[in-house]
Chains A and B, each alone.
Chain A
Amino acid sequence: MTHPVHILLVDDDPAENLIMRGLMKKVSSIEIHLHYCETIDAALDFIKSGTPVAMVLMDNRLQPQCDFRETVPAMRQHGFIGPIGVISSSLADPYFQKFEEYGADFRIDKAELDPTAIEFILREYVTKS
């Protein structure tokens, strides 16, 4: 757990980047480097650039009109095989039940993301392997 963990946040609202950055700072057990992209195209370029990304946190809806059913398969088609978590404030939508079929690993509500949840997710998907 001594190596820093690189996480990529993809969210069209820059405010979420600030909130997430604050949250990640509160995780004391692991050193996290948070990278941020505003669009799916920028995220795909970032992955292609070769920066080692241990996990992607993907906002469900990105402007102009796509959701994880398009963005996650696009990440997979570009060869990203790390864990992808979908963040949303409306997990109740029925299509969320199929997140695994679209190549996502987990889903989490924005309101549920606290330092404990982030530590758990990193333990499950990053530091264990």
Chain B
Amino acid sequence: MANYQKNHRQYYFDSDLEKALNRVDFFRIFHTMTLRYGFDHFGILQLGNEGDACTLTNRLALHDLPSGLAEEYDKRHRFGDSIVFKSLHTSSIPSVWKSDDLHLGNGGNLLGQLGFDILMCVPVTGMNGARYAVLFLGDGEMMEQQAHFALCYDAICAFDYFYRLVLSNKAGLGLTPREREILRWISHGKTASEIALIVSVSEHTVNSHTATILKKLDVVNRTQMVAKAIREQIIQ
């Protein structure tokens, strides 16, 4: 991972971000940030492909909303119709929304439908141009300008790390030694739970490595994974 120079002006956040490794670490960082600025919840929303079937549940890459809230929302409303979602596709300026904003109109008032008073959106971009927005939801008062600026900066920094470390496991990247080891055991016909026992990690970790290998090798199942790995001489 690229290290930043001092002139990349990072503030108090950098040590936590430099240490973050997995989704729980980024949950901790965003959750703490949310509470520090007086909000209750955050969500990282994937943007783009507006026309696709668009549900809040599918678009959330990481969030700390109460369990079941996004699913309930999707049962009752169409996320693609919300004014907030539409506006995130017309401008990349950070925005603040109140549930009693008159222009939100009927049927498109995401805030009212979710049951919060205030929403702050920080549009962000992954290094390859993929568009996301970090949302902060709460019932507090409108933020001071200085705090608003600071939260935007923090959200952009944290998202940059989150994207590079977690979201951008792209095809074509090399496998790590641990991923190669798991691939080798898969080629020997071992199941995820057997590999977990052999390698001394949890089954969850084995499955998440397997998902990463599938993505990196650009294949759709374990059989194609092993076939391609042999073809590409990753394993013998």
Contact = CB atoms under 8 A, between A and B. Distances in A.
Interface of A: 1, 29-30, 73, 76-77, 79, 81-85, 91-92, 96-97, 99-100, 103, 105-109, 112, 116-117, 119-121, 123-125, 129
A112 B204 contact: no
B129 interface: no
Interface of B: 15, 19, 21-25, 27-28, 31-32, 41, 64, 66-68, 193, 196-197, 200-205, 207
A97 B21 contact: yes
> For B23, B28, B203, which residue has the most chain A Cβ atoms within 10 angstroms?
B28
Given A123-B67, A129-B207, A108 B24 contact: yes
Nearest to A119: B67
A82 B203 contact: yes
Given A81-B196, A108-B28, A129-B203, 20 more contacts: A29-B68, A77-B200, A81-B193, A85-B24, A92-B15, A96-B19, A100-B21, A100-B201, A105-B204, A106-B24, A107-B24, A108-B24, A116-B64, A117-B28, A120-B27, A120-B31, A121-B24, A123-B67, A124-B23, A124-B24
Given A30-B67, A119-B67, A124-B23, A83 B204 contact: yes
Contacts, number: 79
Contacts of A79: 197
B28 A82 contact: no
A72 to B, nearest CB: 9
B186 to A, nearest CB: 16
Contact of B66 (A81, A92, A119, A124): A119
A1 to B, nearest CB: 8
A73 B22 CA distance: 20
A116 B203 contact: no
Contacts of A96: 19
Nearest 5 pairs of A and B residues by beta carbon: A106-B24, A29-B67, A81-B196, A76-B200, A81-B203
